[in-house]
Structure 1
Amino acid sequence: MQMIDWQRAVIKVGSALIAPEGNGCSIRYLLALAEFIQHSVQHGKEVVLVSSGSVAAGAGLMKFDLAQQVSIPQKQALAAVGQSYLMQHWQKLFDNQCAQILLTRSDLESSKRVANAKNTLNTLLQMQAIPIINENDSVVIDELVVGDNDNLAAQVAVMCDADLLIICSDVDGLYNKNPQLHADAQLIEVVETIDDSILQSAGITTNPIATGGMKTKIQAADTAMQAGINTLIVNGRKAATFEQLKQTRQTGTLFFAASSRMNSMLN
């Protein structure tokens, strides 16, 4: 396993970890992650969190079944109900103050808004607050997602000049084939080039509350790699994942950005 050094990381956490039962919020898979983030901040590192979960949080509060067909207005309403509860959920896991930032696609396509968001992020990090970013689901008019929060996290990582993007999944990383269907599937530990064979390894999520899947995680990794940012896809359900990350050891699948800026990060 590689040793990975970093100073500023963007960590993406999806609804499958925040709301494993499909509605409401749970700390079941978040305690080890929160402890890793707190540990990192205490050791002088900077962490930006990209968090899904507002729709699932709202569904839990409103006793709404997301397994049924849900319209865009219903999802937007549930997001409006759930977003503040989602922030409360995260805040109780940290000693540091959390700060909410909601973005839309138009924010990321405007150079002026990107500059303003970047300045806000940098100032929050200087204050040792933990920025928590989500898409502004309640006001998006075409779809709920920028693409999804995997790609949003990659765009945030580029925007704030992160050294590392960590995408938390419910599997150990990228496999050469679907491990749920193939017992002989093997974990791909390092990816240096995203080619057709890597794309073919990605499947489509069957989780009704998730908007991404491995395909969007690879897309996000590609965006980050092109900007010289290393990406890790890790199993966010395993506490051992974050123990390894505390020791700056690779876990999961590392998408290695082969730029001169990042080559010095790996020993």
Structure 2
Amino acid sequence: MAQTLVIKIGTSSLTQSDSGQLALSTIASLIEVLCTLRHHGHRVILVSSGAVGVGCARLGLTERPKAIALKQAIAAVGQGRLMRIYDDLFTAMQQPIAQVLLTRGDLVERSRYVNAYQTFQALLQLGVVPIVNENDTVAVEELKFGDNDTLSALVAGLVDADWLFLLTDVDRLYSADPRRNPDAEPIIRVQRIEELASVNTGTSGTAWGTGGMITKISAARIATDAGVRTVITQGRSPQNLLKILAGESIGTQFEPQPRPINARQRWIAHGLIPTGTLILDDGAVNAIRQLGRSLLAAGIIHTEGEFDSQDAVRLCDRTGQEIARGLVNYTSAELQKIQGRRSEDIPNILGYAGAETVVHRDNLVLNS
């Protein structure tokens, strides 16, 4: 059966660890596998890191830059080189590709989110393999994905993918870093992300990359919430993709959630960047969690941050634990005046009739 597959390959798999030069044999092997998947009728999207790493190698730099302007300039150098290599190798397999560069802003604004979805669908219907990366040359810090693990999970949710493969420099997830701890236990299957609370996720990636195991677990949460089965496996062995799809137990597989949230809820939960926090009393927390109710002003104890109406906010209990996210119907200044007050008092306090709810249940997504 034809499926939609999102494959993310990290810088640690694309480049040689000592020099940052491209690992051409790995890239060629990956492309051969992706073309095989296409010939089997699957729809394939590749999320590729490596632009900054390739740019560094091209310019003779010995370490990844930290200044965002320099990093963006180097990404511009590396992205063209990276796409040239992909195009040459895919062309040899007679497989058309397309470059898709995204920023978080493309998923924050609803109309751009829908447009991105339609573009991906058109490319996949044409039999094209989209190659996705963050648009490092224009992304500003507050609208960056931060890592391509998160980007790949959001893309997988956006296109309603069946599988997300996170190709990395270890063969699977372990209870600790197996390179440093010989007693690390392999983790084969994860039913719920909460099972990993005791896992030591280690540091945040290699010298040439930005991701680490913690970002992959976070990406798995985003993807599985959207109903996407997620796998962490060895990037140097792309043939594993074919074996996993054939049913072999390779890598770490994260089970998709049985009742995945819909596209609009995914956009609220993961596409938007919250600009504020609402601290709720126990009654409001129970009404939202257990009864599926909207949030009313009476249930708000405290408001944090500055935000406008229709911005995304976090909804937290008294301890500060986030229970949900949603689109707010009032500005932060308005909420500071009406928090803790009954809905019928709001017109007298504000001088005009506002919305009955602070966050309507249709614009609210519970944390999994």
Write the distance in 1 (CA, Å) between the matches of 2:147 and 2:79: 16
Secondary structure of the corresponding residue to residue 116 of structure 1:
helix
> What count of residue pairs does the alignment treat as equivalent?
256
Aligned residue for 2:172?
A: 173
Write the distance in 1 (CA, Å) between the matches of 2:2 and 2:257: 15
1:66 aligned onto 2:97 = no
Q: Pick from 61, 81, 84: which aligns with 1:85?
A: 81
| Runs of 4+ off more than 4 Å | none
Mapped contact 1:176–1:198 kept (Cα < 8 A): no
Aligned residue for 2:279?
A: none
What does residue range 79-228 of structure 1 map to in structure 2 within 5 Å? 79-94=75-90, 95-142=94-141, 145-195=144-194, 197-198=196-197, 200-228=199-227
Aligned residue for 1:257?
A: 256
Write the distance in 2 (CA, Å) between the matches of 1:96 and 1:248: 26
With 232-241 and 100-109 compared, the bigger mean Cα shift is at 232-241
Displacement after TM superposition at 1:20 (Å):
2.0
Mapped contact 2:4–2:162 kept (Cα < 8 A): yes
Higher-Rg structure is 2
Letter in structure 2 aligned against 1:110: E
| Gap change, CA 1:112 and 1:174, over 3 Å in 2 | same
Mapped contact 2:30–2:239 kept (Cα < 8 A): no
Deviation readout 1:194-251 (Å, 9 max, x if unpaired): 1164463322235111101000000000001111111000111125523413534342
- TM-score if structure 2 supplies the norm length? 0.66
Residue segments in structure 2 that go unaligned for 5+ positions in a row: 261-368
Letter in structure 2 aligned against 1:104: T
Aligned residue for 2:365?
A: none
Secondary structure of the corresponding residue to residue 84 of structure 2:
helix
Write the distance in 1 (CA, Å) between the matches of 2:226 and 2:240: 25
Write the distance in 1 (CA, Å) between the matches of 2:7 and 2:241: 12
Aligned residue for 1:52?
A: 49
Write the distance in 2 (CA, Å) between the matches of 1:150 and 1:8: 17
Secondary structure of the corresponding residue to residue 153 of structure 2:
helix
Aligned residue for 1:264?
A: none
Residue segments in structure 1 that go unaligned for 5+ positions in a row: 262-267
Aligned residue for 2:243?
A: 244
Mapped contact 1:172–1:187 kept (Cα < 8 A): no
Displacement after TM superposition at 1:26 (Å):
2.6
Letter in structure 2 aligned against 1:8: T
With 39-48 and 136-145 compared, the bigger mean Cα shift is at 136-145
Aligned residue for 2:40?
A: 43
Write the distance in 2 (CA, Å) between the matches of 1:252 and 1:73: 37
| Gap change, CA 1:199 and 1:119, over 3 Å in 2 | farther
Displacement after TM superposition at 1:107 (Å):
0.7
Identity, in percent, stands at: 38
With 116-125 and 89-98 compared, the bigger mean Cα shift is at 89-98
Displacement after TM superposition at 1:70 (Å):
3.7
* RMSD, matched Cα: 2.0
Write the distance in 2 (CA, Å) between the matches of 1:245 and 1:132: 22
Deviation readout 1:71-91 (Å, 9 max, x if unpaired): 211111000111111111112
Secondary structure of the corresponding residue to residue 38 of structure 1:
helix
